[in-house]
């Protein structure tokens, strides 16, 4: 499994042509306590860089962006009942949605873990 990161602080874990997407630990720490996550609709086709949902926290609301283009195939219903999973397990049980990647070359424009750590350090 390969994990990439966007400048919008989303991560995507790729297995074959399926990407699981969530926000990074850094992003959740900036947002504070997450109280609501609006997910994209399963079956929707999205483009890389386009807003597909919203995260609401006690501090702010923030868009969720698709790091790659594709079709939404699954959303994490556990976040409806417990949005705080995005805080406590942002790279685990707090994932947001899964996408069938339609343009694999878009993954090349995303950062690996080392580049992402350098990006957030600046």
For residue range 80-93, list pLDDT tens digits in order: 999 999 999 999 99
Question: What is the chain's mean pLDDT, rounded?
Answer: 96
pTM of the model: 0.94
Return the domain boundaries, the chain: 2-121
Q: List pLDDT tens digits, range 48-79.
A: 999 999 999 999 899 999 999 999 999 999 99
Q: Are 19 and 71 in contact (CB under 8 A)?
A: no
C-beta atoms surrounding 30 within 10 Å: 15
Does residue 18 have a pLDDT over 90? yes
Q: List pLDDT tens digits, range 37-49.
A: 999 999 999 999 9
The 3-state DSSP class for residue 23 equals strand
| pLDDT at residue 121, rounded to an integer | 95
- CA angle, residues 97, 15, 121, in degrees to nearest 5: 70
| pLDDT at residue 1, rounded to an integer | 75
Determine whether domain 2-121 maps to CATH 2.40.50.100: yes
Can you tell me the distance from the alpha carbon of 80 to that of 78, in angstroms, rounded to the nearest whole number?
5
């Amino acid at each position: 499994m390969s994990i990439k990161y966007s400048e919008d602080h989303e991560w995507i874990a790729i297995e074959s042509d399926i990407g699981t997407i969530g926000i990074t630990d850094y992003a959740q720490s900036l947002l504070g306590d997450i109280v609501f996550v609006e997910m994209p609709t399963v079956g929707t086709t999205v483009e890389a860089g386009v807003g597909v949902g919203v995260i609401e926290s006690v501090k702010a609301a923030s868009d969720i962006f698709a790091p790659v283009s594709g079709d939404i195939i699954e959303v994490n219903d556990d976040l409806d009942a417990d949005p705080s999973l995005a805080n406590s397990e942002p790279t685990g049980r707090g994932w947001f949605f899964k996408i069938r990647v339609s343009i694999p070359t878009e993954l090349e424009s995303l950062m690996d873990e080392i580049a992402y750590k350098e990006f957030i350090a600046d």
